[in-house]
Amino acid sequence: MKNKIIIFGMVLLIILSACGSNDNDNNEKTNNSNEQTAVVEEKVNVENDVEETSPKEDESTSEELPGEAENTETTNEAEPVVEEPSYDALPVGAVITFGTYEQNNDGGEPEPIEWIVVEDKENVLTLLSKNILDTCYYNEDDSDYSWENSVLRKFLNSDFYNTAFSEDEKTKIMPTENTDSYGATIDNVFTFSRKELLRVFPLATDKEYLMASFTDYAYSHDGMFAGEENGIGQWHLLDALVEESGDVSCGFVTVTGTITATLEPEPLFAGVRPMIRIEKEEN
């Protein structure tokens, strides 16, 4: 009986030992399975993170583009920089203002004088008043037709010069040598001679520059304003016309823009279109 009990106990120990071994194996398998599952889950999570990150980067890039577009629109809509006009950029035929003179005849402040750029040569601009600004006789009588002693020259270089230009503006006006059949003069203000006019405006199409309207102030003066037509007036030339016979007559530009002279040697009352020369301003 005692031997049976011992044998039964040994069998029981063997059975219990086998069961413990199986439990350990199962636990190891379970742990390994759990670890593999965890690794797979980590890989899945990593892939999900990558997929979630890519769209964000795209969104970030796409968000920059509108910003760039807005910057472009802002640049396009920016107001252009307006530079002060330079005499260097003025073409022949351009109109500029310089000086002031009564023109609308209202007795108020004088108006800016408009000048046509008629020549650009050797850094000097030659300007002709756009309108007939005043009127006067060419000379006092028919005994002297020289430009040097003419009423027209005295008026331009005294009354007009001192009235139209400030002291600062006078410093910008260049003295100009002028000649006629009687000699040469140096003038601050002058007008076209017949020779110079034909040199500067040789074409028939240039008549648009030669036909000039008179201002209200110029037309208000008493005197014989011969040739007035539809607001266009005749205006003095610098030199008198001296014929081979010795006869002398005053030259002027008609309302149609042609050059002519008085039929008889007598003082001519006509419009005045002053001219000046100024040096180009440096940029």
Residue 127 has pLDDT above 70, yes or no: yes
Task: Summarize the confidence of residues 1-18 as an average pLDDT.
Answer: 53
Is residue 93 domain-shared with residue 175, that is, in the same domain? yes
CA distance 202 to 238: 18
Residue 183 has pLDDT above 90, yes or no: yes
Could you give the percent of the chain with pLDDT greater than 70? 63
Is residue 233 domain-shared with residue 105, that is, in the same domain? yes
The residue that leads in pLDDT, 235 or 244, is 235
pLDDT range class, residue 227, cuts 50, 70, 90: low
Residue 13 has pLDDT above 70, yes or no: no
Is residue 247 domain-shared with residue 123, that is, in the same domain? yes
Last residue within a domain, chosen from 18, 52, 82: 82
pTM of the model: 0.67
Is residue 143 domain-shared with residue 181, that is, in the same domain? yes
Is residue 111 domain-shared with residue 233, that is, in the same domain? yes
Is residue 156 domain-shared with residue 175, that is, in the same domain? yes
Is residue 21 domain-shared with residue 72, that is, in the same domain? yes
Residue 53 has pLDDT above 60, yes or no: no
CA distance 16 to 108: 131
Which of 124, 139, 112, 104 shows the shortest CA–CA distance to 267?
A: 139
Residue 21 has pLDDT above 90, yes or no: no
Contact (CB, 8 A) for 147 and 238: yes
Is residue 257 domain-shared with residue 134, that is, in the same domain? yes
CA distance 90 to 98: 14
Residue 2 has pLDDT above 70, yes or no: no
Residue 186 has pLDDT above 80, yes or no: yes
Last residue within a domain, chosen from 82, 113, 148: 82
Is residue 104 domain-shared with residue 238, that is, in the same domain? yes
pLDDT range class, residue 206, cuts 50, 70, 90: confident
Sign of the Cα torsion 89, 92, 98, 103 reads negative
Last residue within a domain, chosen from 32, 64, 82: 82
Range of the domain at 194: 87-279
* pLDDT at 119 (0 to 100): 92
What is the residue-averaged pLDDT of the chain? 75
Is residue 206 domain-shared with residue 272, that is, in the same domain? yes
Is residue 270 domain-shared with residue 189, that is, in the same domain? yes
Task: Summarize the confidence of residues 236-245 as an average pLDDT.
Answer: 86
Q: What are phi and psi of 281, to 5 degrees?
A: -80, 140
Is residue 64 domain-shared with residue 130, that is, in the same domain? no
According to DSSP, the β-strands at 183-187 and 111-121 are unpaired
Model pLDDT for residues 160-178, shown as the tens digit of each residue? 999 999 999 999 999 999 9
> Structural domain tally of the chain?
2
